[in-house]
Structure 1
Amino acid sequence: MRRQALLASIALLVLLAGCLGPLQTTSSPAAATDAEGTTLSTTGTGSVDAEADLAVVSVAVVATADSADAARGQVATDVERMRTALREAGVPDDAVTTASFAVFPEYDYTDGERTERGFRAVHAFRIETEPARAGEVVDVAVGNGASEVQGVSFTLTDETRAALRAQAIERAVAAARTDADAMAETVGLSVTGVETMSTAGGFTPVERFDVAESAADGARTSFEPGPVRVSVTVQVTYRAA
């Protein structure tokens, strides 16, 4: 009996040793997988400056009258005169578009009482032209029916903006990669690829309305537009090992 009990104990110990061996070797692959899965997240910004190649002149034709229809009719007459003058100045019809139109009553307020004093009609336009002709367009519009110049902006055409944005993205990605390489080097790693990448940003138009002198005094309107900046920010997550 003692011999049989001793043999059974030895067999049990051998069995337990066989079970414990594999359990002690499974942790190494998990540690290697963690190292291979290291990621670095960086942000890069790139920008490009360029001269504006598009000017947008915002003007409005305004008229007041005793009735809404009379105000509307006066605006329609002045608008036709302005558009004819712009056409004769070489501004194509499709470069002149309506921005807004409204006809509304105006009131006087005396001793807390409201008295209607007529109607105002406003037809606002957006006129696109070359930056060098922005002052001329203002003078033609104001001299032929436009009552208000609501602003002048110097910006970029769609084609130019797309080309500059591509350059800005290239610079932003290069800046992000430079930071990623520096981060990886500090911990003894190297960048091995890109995990994710996204971008945001646009362009900054130059808004100006600083008419030098009144055209009525014999001087021409002139502008001095500054550069337009296209800026892009990219967020990149890199793989490193």
Structure 2
Amino acid sequence: MMKEQAQACCDFTIEVTGEGAATAVPDQTIVTLGVSGESDSLGTLQTDQAKIIDAVIQAMLALGVPRESISTAQYSIEPQYDFVDGKQIFRGYRAVHLLRITIDGAKDAGRIIDAAVAQGANMVSDVTFQSTHADEARRKALTQAVRDAEAKALAIAATLGVSLSSVPCKVTESPVNRFEPIMFKAASVPAGDAGTTIEPGTLTFKASVRVWYVYG
């Protein structure tokens, strides 16, 4: 019954979409970095990488990063082959060991990277900035989207010379890439580089709605 009433309510409607966006200042940083290498000796490769990762962890702790903010992001070992004259020839192993390091603030990503590189890290997978005010920004974007839809509906109604209901009969939130994180990626970091600077910028949150207004 209620569904039928809602359908009848929306028989004479103006349908519009609304878009909204809001920004937030990043206050948290996630850095994924570690070591990647190849060797024909798997044992040697694992031992060497374990030493580097342990040294990186100790460097992070020395910088004040809590141990619970350091976790393994990736650990993989893959055999490597060359193809010569149509034949597969074993070359050795490739191993990747990455840590995910979460820190408060958005200004220390470069310092984290430099400290890790100094201990032998040679790979940065990504640097992502986030905000603890993300929910507030999402709500602002949604409010802006609803107001945008209302303004469009009023413009259409005025053009047609009809009156518009003060409250929409139906509102749905449309799928959208609500969060655009600021992300930096790099395949490797040359040893010896220092003074890395990464600017956080701002985070953008988007919202989109479809709104139906009854007109008469």
Question: Given the two structures, how large is their TM-score scaled by the length of structure 1?
Answer: 0.74
Deviations 1:23-51 (A, max 9, x none): xxxxxxxxxxx899522211111111233
Q: Secondary structure at the match of 1:194?
A: coil
Q: Secondary structure at the match of 1:73?
A: helix
Consecutive unaligned residues of structure 2, counting only runs of 5 or more, are: 1-7
Q: Is 1:126 matched up with 2:112? A: no
* Partner AA of 2:196 in structure 1: T
Q: Which has the higher contact order (CA 8 A, sep 6+)?
A: 2
* Partner AA of 1:131 in structure 2: A
Identity %: 30
Query: Which of these residues, 143, 152, 156, is aligned with residue 179 of structure 1?
Result: 152
Equivalent residues in 2 for 1:199-238, closer than 5 Å: 199=173, 200-201=175-176, 202-209=178-185, 216=192, 219-238=194-213
Q: Secondary structure at the match of 2:54?
A: helix
Cα distance in 2 for residues equivalent to 1:163 and 1:215: 41
Query: Which of these residues, 135, 145, 149, is aligned with residue 162 of structure 1?
Result: 135
Give the ranges of 4+ consecutive aligned residues of structure 1 lying more than 4 Å apart after TM superposition.
34-37
Equivalent residues in 2 for 1:1-241, closer than 5 Å: 37-129=11-103, 130-154=105-129, 156-157=130-131, 159-185=132-158, 186-199=160-173, 200-201=175-176, 202-209=178-185, 216=192, 219-241=194-216
Are the aligned partners of 1:63 and 1:72 in contact in 2 as well (CA < 8 Å)? no
Cα distance in 2 for residues equivalent to 1:74 and 1:52: 35
Question: Given the two structures, how large is their TM-score scaled by the length of structure 2?
Answer: 0.82
Are the aligned partners of 1:181 and 1:191 in contact in 2 as well (CA < 8 Å)? no
Q: Whose radius of gyration is greater, 1 or 2?
A: 1
Q: Secondary structure at the match of 1:132?
A: coil
Q: Name whichever structure is richer in helix by fraction.
A: 1
Are the aligned partners of 1:214 and 1:220 in contact in 2 as well (CA < 8 Å)? no
Q: 1:82 Cα deviation (Å)?
A: 1.0
Consecutive unaligned residues of structure 1, counting only runs of 5 or more, are: 1-33
Deviations 1:131-190 (A, max 9, x none): 200000001111113221122233x23x31111011111111111111112222323222
Q: 1:214 Cα deviation (Å)?
A: 6.7
